[in-house]
Structure 1
Amino acid sequence: MGLQMSHSNMQKKVKPCYGPLNDDDVDDHDNNDNGTSGSLALINPPVVASYDSWVMQHPSALDTFDSITKEAKWKKVVVFLDYDGTLSPIVEDPDKAFMSAEMRMAVREVAKCFPTSIISGRSREKVKEFVQLSNVYYAGSHGMDILAPPRAVKSSDKKANEGAFQPAKLYLPAIQEISVELEDTIRDIQGAMLEDNKFCISVHYRQVQPKDHEVLKQRVKSLVENRPDFRLTEGKMVLEVRPSIEWNKGDALNYLLDTLGFSNSKDVLPLYIGDDRTDEDAFKVIAGRHEGFPIIVSSIPKDTIAWYSLRDTSEVLAFLLRLAKWKKSETSFFK
């Protein structure tokens, strides 16, 4: 049995509650989606009084590192990482969410030790441009666009020759059409920014005057509401249009485990680090397996089903470096 049982106290949490969505209820650029409509969002239970008490339920992955590696010692760890807010800090301009050279080196070293995937709300091309590594899997558009690194799977494996896996591919023409209409719709709103994430479209309004926020929201909602094949989700200062298909980061995690040949393996421990609500779908998959390491990145209390936590990107960096160092020491020990 995995770490869920060895930290059973972490599961005794208040039932999540829902409330009206507003800009302060959501987290970051990576286009949060809690699986509800745009009008409701998961909010923090009032009983979570402080970060210190929250960390008691979601222990630091750095402080419990020895316990994590003890559990992982005889297992196959597969690493999954969010991008915005996890590998790079949240910034005002989404085009400038650059990861540091130190973080890039840490991810590179981790990917040498474990199969590693980056699952982001960004387009696959954009997140790959930011990360600049060839030894990781990239899953963009919340997992709707997945590509394996060269030689990641055996050439005899059919999936190695299929190129990118894109479950929403049939929606591309309609997405492009909506993108053009959205651009025309928001053109006269100063500060509004459209980001094409291939299988989802993000409308950012961080730099829009507060008096124009509702105008922008109503225009975007009016454009989407008559398109049943699409849905609108709302994040912090961002609206996102995406296909109405049953696919999320949790599905992407399962797909990647299957691609790696680990879907039915009893000795695999997925490790997922992410900071926003879209990552909860991946945490849910790990929780369902009863083994693995779901790690939330947050410096404030928030409702999550993750078992562990890291405070910010600097702690993510420290954790990844320590993880790679541990694996290399284990490998050298058995040589």
Structure 2
Amino acid sequence: MDFTSSAGEQKYAALVRAAAETVIGLDFDGTLSPIVEDPSQAHIHPDAGEVLLALAAQVSAIAVITGRPARQALDLGGLEEVGNAIGDAGKELYLFGQYGNERWSSTNRRVIGPRPPAGLASFERELPRVLRRADAADAHVEDKVLSVAIHTRRLPEPEAAFRRLLPDLEDLAARHDLVIEPGRQVIEVRSAGVHKGQVVARLAEDLRAGGFLFAGDDLGDIEAFEAVAALEKQGLATLRVCSASDEESRLKDLADVVVSGPDGVLDLLRQLAADAAGLRA
């Protein structure tokens, strides 16, 4: 792991000391699973279950907070099985899908979520015209029920297509009272008012956290990083972890520690579990 400053090292040490009261928040794509061309094949890192179980024994709770539909993340991550094991150890695994619109936990084993936002159906009806106009008719459109994601990764020039599409999709979303969430060669359109930062703040309050770590990789994680910074000002031990890649680097400037993709995230979590266990021994 690469700390961005000496303060980052000090924050990590403080988090180890506060581990028993710490909540671990984790993005899914690019953090627990590698980024792949086909989103339906983004399976969780093979070591994740083992690492999360070991970590759960040392911390207050673990929460996966993702833009994916909750059921999809559960299936791709094998997280129901992981949740069973964590629950047997007397701890809790939470999963928040669609930026917090959906909720599942290892205690309450059903996905709870709202109806699709008003305007989404009419947005999707107009979307093909916008894609054709931007010469991106072959972009992969992923219907997430509560949102829709437009992926340019499979197009011949994915970054150029992304830049062409972004302003047009912003305009179309605004006309239907929706907002966009730009990501790594993907533009997601969803309802306003719910984001990962709100989930972080609510978890910290509900669980009376004494510490909070959040690991993410993309623009959709900025609000979570900002929420963690606010918790730090309230006196909590905190750590912001950037799962870095060549495609997206803007989180690096906000992070306390930078690691290399899901491998690096799991190495850090493994080390955190070991250090916290050693401190208790």
**Equivalent residue in structure 2 for 1:240, among 151, 171, 188:** 188
Distance 1:78 1:238, change over 3 A: same
* 2:151 equivalent in structure 1: 204
**Per-residue deviation, 1:92:** 1.6
**Per-residue deviation, 1:203:** 0.9
Query: Are positions 1:273 and 2:215 aligned together?
Result: yes
Distance 1:67 1:234, change over 3 A: closer
Query: Are positions 1:133 and 2:75 aligned together?
Result: no
* 1:32 equivalent in structure 2: none
**Per-residue deviation, 1:139:** 0.9
Aligned partner of residue 55 in structure 2, secondary structure: helix
* 2:104 equivalent in structure 1: 147
**Per-residue deviation, 1:105:** 1.8
Contact 1:271 1:294 in 2 (8 A): yes
- Name whichever of 208-217 and 303-312 sits farther off: 208-217
**Per-residue deviation, 1:58:** 4.7
**Per-residue deviation, 1:133:** 2.0
* 1:253 equivalent in structure 2: 200
Q: 1:230-277 deviations in whole A, cap 9, x for unaligned?
A: 1234333222211122x21110111222332x1xx6xx1001111112
* 2:253 equivalent in structure 1: 304
Give the alignment's Cα RMSD to 1 decimal. Answer: 3.3
Q: Give me the whole-angstrom Cα distance separating, in 1, the residues matched to 2:7 and 2:69.
A: 30
Q: 1:199-234 deviations in whole A, cap 9, x for unaligned?
A: 22101122224499377667745643421x212343
**Equivalent residue in structure 2 for 1:295, among 203, 219, 241:** 241
Residue identity opposite 1:141 in structure 2: Q
* 1:21 equivalent in structure 2: none
Q: 1:133-176 deviations in whole A, cap 9, x for unaligned?
A: 23221111122222222169xxxxxxxxxx6564xx35445434
**Unaligned runs of at least 5 residues, structure 1:** 1-54, 153-162
Residue identity opposite 1:250 in structure 2: G
Q: Give me the whole-angstrom Cα distance separating, in 1, the residues matched to 2:118 and 2:185.
A: 26
**Equivalent residue in structure 1 for 2:175, among 226, 232, 247:** 226
Query: Are positions 1:192 and 2:135 aligned together?
Result: no
* 2:31 equivalent in structure 1: 86
Q: 1:187-210 deviations in whole A, cap 9, x for unaligned?
A: 996532111233221011222244
User: Aligned ranges for residues 90-109 of structure 1 at < 5 Å?
Assistant: 90-109=35-54
Larger radius of gyration: 1
Q: Give me the whole-angstrom Cα distance separating, in 1, the residues matched to 2:33 and 2:7.
A: 19
Q: Give me the whole-angstrom Cα distance separating, in 1, the residues matched to 2:154 and 2:33.
A: 20
* 1:321 equivalent in structure 2: 270
**Unaligned runs of at least 5 residues, structure 2:** 84-92
Q: Give me the whole-angstrom Cα distance separating, in 2, the residues matched to 1:60 and 1:207.
A: 40
Q: 1:100-121 deviations in whole A, cap 9, x for unaligned?
A: 3212321232234320000111
- Name whichever of 188-197 and 133-142 sits farther off: 188-197
Q: Give me the whole-angstrom Cα distance separating, in 1, the residues matched to 2:242 and 2:118.
A: 35
Distance 1:313 1:180, change over 3 A: same
Contact 1:113 1:324 in 2 (8 A): yes
Q: 1:12-65 deviations in whole A, cap 9, x for unaligned?
A: xxxxxxxxxxxxxxxxxxxxxxxxxxxxxxxxxxxxxxxxxxx5635697xx4x
Distance 1:330 1:313, change over 3 A: same
Residue identity opposite 2:268 in structure 1: F
**Equivalent residue in structure 1 for 2:67, among 121, 124, 143:** 121
* 1:33 equivalent in structure 2: none
Contact 2:70 2:111 in 1 (8 A): no
Residue identity opposite 1:87 in structure 2: L
Residue identity opposite 1:96 in structure 2: Q
Percent of counterpart pairs with the same letter?
23
Q: Give me the whole-angstrom Cα distance separating, in 2, the residues matched to 1:305 and 1:189.
A: 32
Contact 1:192 1:205 in 2 (8 A): yes
Contact 1:59 1:308 in 2 (8 A): no
